[in-house]
C-alpha cells in the first residue's frame, strides 16, 4: 500500500484546497474585480465593434493568434505527460537523488510512482482544457466569418449575435485560464517530490503569485487607471 504519512496527506489536502478554492474564487463573484474578468468585458466590446467594420481581416488574425497560443500549450501538455511517464523508468535513480537533498524525505518506489501519476493527471487535465479552448476559438473564428454585414450592425439580431460571440470567446478564454492554472499548480506539485513541507511551501508560493497577478499587479492597475480617466 502507499501508506503516506500524515504530513504528506495534510500537504496534499492543502494543495487541492488551494487549487479548488482559488479556482472557485476567481470564477465567481469575488473574481469579478480580477484581471481575467476585466479582460472578458473587452471580448464583448470586440464583437460589438467587429460589426461596424467592413474589413474584418484583423479580427481573423487576432482569433488565429489566440488559437496558436492554445495550440502551443496543448502540445506542451502532451510533451509534459510524456516526460512525466518517462521518469517512471528511472525511479531508482530519482529516489536516490531526492534522498540526498537537504529537505528530501525517504520515499518508497510505490509512493514515488503514485506522485508521478498524479503529476501526469494534472498535465492531462491541462491538455483537455487547452484542447477545448482551441476548439472554442475555432468556433469564434466561424462566427466572425458569419457575422452580419455592416449595414445590419445596429439591428437587434446583430446585437444578439455580438453578445453570443462575445460569450463564446469568454468561455474559450475561461478554459484557457483553467489550463494555465493547472500548469502553475503543477509547479507547486513538484515540491511534493522533495517532501510534504516543500509541497506546502511551493503551493503557497504559487497561490500568492497567482493572486497578486489577478488583484495586485501593474496590469490590473492599468485597467483601473484607464477606467478612472
Whether residue 226 is predicted with pLDDT greater than 70 in this model: the reply is no
Can you tell me the mean pLDDT for 185-206?
A: 93
Can you tell me the mean pLDDT for 28-55?
A: 86
- The mean pLDDT value of the chain amounts to 89
pLDDT of amino acid 229: 47
What size, in residues, is the chain?
229
What tens digit of pLDDT does each residue of 118-170 get?
Answer: 999 999 999 999 999 999 999 999 999 888 988 888 899 999 999 999 999 99
**Among candidates 42, 18, 8, which has minimal Cα distance to 196?**
8
Can you tell me the mean pLDDT for 91-115?
A: 75
pLDDT of amino acid 102: 67
Whether residue 41 is predicted with pLDDT greater than 90 in this model: the reply is no
CA distance 220 to 217: 5
pLDDT of amino acid 211: 93
For the chain, give the percent of residues with pLDDT over 90. Answer: 52
Amino acid at each position: 500500500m502507499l501508506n503516506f504519512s500524515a504530513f504528506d496527506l495534510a500537504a496534499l489536502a492543502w494543495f487541492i484546497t488551494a487549487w479548488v478554492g482559488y479556482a472557485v474564487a476567481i470564477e465567481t463573484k469575488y473574481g469579478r474585480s480580477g484581471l481575467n474578468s476585466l479582460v472578458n468585458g473587452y471580448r464583448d466590446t470586440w464583437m460589438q465593434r467587429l460589426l461596424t467594420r467592413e474589413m474584418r481581416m484583423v479580427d481573423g488574425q487576432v482569433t488565429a493568434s489566440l488559437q496558436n497560443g492554445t495550440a502551443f500549450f496543448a502540445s506542451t501538455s502532451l510533451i509534459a505527460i510524456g516526460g512525466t511517464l518517462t521518469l517512471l523508468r528511472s525511479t531508482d535513480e530519482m529516489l536516490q537523488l531526492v534522498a540526498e537533498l537537504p529537505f528530501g524525505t525517504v520515499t518508497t518506489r510505490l509512493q514515488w510512482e503514485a506522485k508521478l501519476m498524479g503529476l501526469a493527471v494534472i498535465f492531462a487535465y491541462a491538455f483537455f482544457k487547452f484542447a477545448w479552448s482551441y476548439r472554442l476559438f475555432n468556433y469564434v473564428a466561424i462566427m466572425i466569418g458569419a457575422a452580419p454585414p455592416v449595414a445590419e450592425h445596429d439591428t437587434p439580431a446583430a446585437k444578439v449575435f455580438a453578445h453570443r460571440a462575445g460569450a463564446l470567446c469568454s468561455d474559450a478564454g475561461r478554459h484557457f485560464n483553467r489550463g494555465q492554472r493547472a500548469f502553475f499548480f503543477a509547479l507547486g506539485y513538484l515540491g511534493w517530490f522533495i517532501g510534504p513541507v516543500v509541497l506546502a511551501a511551493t503551493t503557497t508560493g504559487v497561490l500568492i503569485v497567482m493572486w497578486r497577478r489577478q488583484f495586485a499587479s501593474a496590469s490590473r492597475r492599468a485597467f483601473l487607471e484607464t477606467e478612472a480617466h
